[in-house]
Amino acid sequence: MRVKSIVCVKRVPDTEARIRIAGDGSSIDPSGVKFVLNPYDEFAVEAALKHKEAAGQGEVTVMSVGDAASAETLRTALAMGADSAVLLKADRTPEGLAAAKALAAGIQGREYDLVLFGMKAIDDDLQAVGPMVAELLGIPVASAVTEFSIADGKVTAHREIEGGAEVVELRMPCAITLTKGAYEPRYASLKGIMAAKKKPLEEKPAQVDAPAAPAALSYPPERQAGRIVGEGPDAVPELLRLLRQEAKVI
């Protein structure tokens, strides 16, 4: 089946990045932070590419709503092998419902069979945009999917749930949000990086709602490095005594 996929991606701080709160107390200080393609979105891009390759036909468009620097993130996805990119440009990268509305508006009017997302963005940790876009577009969604197959206008998705998996059948067009599973992201080859420069990257203004009242950011209470109870198996009784009498957890 010739499937047109739209993969929504976000530019986020690298997982290793040290996060510092900016002077305003409600945003993070981006200086010195390396930004990357959201790791969950990499699974989504990889899934779209794998299915296109398996079918021998199809089209993969990556889309992002965000600031100008998000173009760089789209280029990364193009270098992996996506065919074209769309940047819905805003002066800041929105989150939650505002991001979902902008993406849904960007998707509407395009031809698509499948909209893919990472299960969550690792900066806001909301895990909301995929299901919200699906709701706004009026299409079905399965979230936290590890693997899916496409046949006869339907997607069969394996969704991670507590203690197992749910097999969901979705009528296309539909949305899928991906978690880590069958799609190990490929590295962009040098050839891919060169090719990405020539691929179409369309930019258009995003429709972004005004942000909600700013949140107060704080660091979590520093975990006190605890105590080394001892060395080797002989420390076990003391450890259990502490867990029972001091921590009272067993």
Partner 1 sequence: MPGIFAFAESRDGELRKVAQEVVTAARKLADAAGTEVHAVALGGSGLQAAAAELGKYGADKVFVGESGAFDRYSPEGFTTVIVNFIREHGCDAALFPASALGKDLAPRVAARLGVEYLSDATALDAEGATITVTRPRYAGKVFSRAAVTSKPAVISVRPNSFQAAENAKAGSVETLNVDLGSADFGAVVKEIKAAAGEKLDVSEAPIVISGGRGLQDPANFKLLEELAEAFGGRAAVGASRAVVDAGWRPHGDQVGQTGKTVAPTLYIAVGISGAIQHLAGMRTSRYIVAINKDPEAPIFKVADYGIVGDLFQILPRMTEEVKKLMS
Q: Which helix (H) or strand (E) holds 155?
A: strand 154-161
Residue 62 CA to residue 54 CA, distance in Å, equals 19
Residue placing its CB nearer to partner 1 in the complex, 205 or 230:
230
Residue 125 site contact among partner 1, ligand FAD, none (CB < 5 to 8 Å, cut-off depends on kind): partner 1
Q: Which is nearer to partner 1, 84 or 181 (CB)?
A: 181
Residue 44: which of 30, 29, 63, 28 has the closest Cα? 63
Decide whether 40 or 148 has the Cβ nearer to ligand FAD. Answer: 40
Asked whether the beta carbons of 12 and 38 are under 8 A apart, the reply is yes
Q: Which of 103, 139, 188, 208 binds partner 1 (CB under 8 A)?
A: 139
Segment 28-47, which members bind ligand FAD (CB under 6 A)?
A: 39
Nearest-angstrom CA–CA distance, 61 and 5 = 6
Q: Restricting to residues 12-31, which ones interact with ligand FAD according to CB under 6 A?
A: 15
* Of residues 109 and 220, the one with the C-beta less far from partner 1: 220
Contact residue for partner 1 among 105, 160, 193, 201 (CB under 8 A): 160
Q: How far is the CB of 176 from partner 1 (least distance, A)?
A: 10
Question: Which residues on neighbouring strands pair with residue 62, listed in sequence order?
Answer: 7, 85
Cα angle for residues 213, 219, 224 (degrees, 5° grid): 160
Instruction: Output the six-digit token pair for 168.
Output: 């969901």
- The only residue of 125, 152, 187, 191 in contact with partner 1, by rule CB under 8 A: 125
Give the residue with the Cβ less far from ligand FAD, 39 or 96. Answer: 39
What would the two tokens of residue 87 be?
Answer: 């940047």
CB 85 within 8 A of CB 62: yes
Q: Find the shortest distance in angstroms from Cβ 155 to ligand FAD.
A: 26
Residue 37 interacts with partner 1 (CB under 8 A)? no
Q: H or E stretch including 170? A: strand 164-171
Interface residues toward ligand FAD, by CB under 6 A:
15, 39
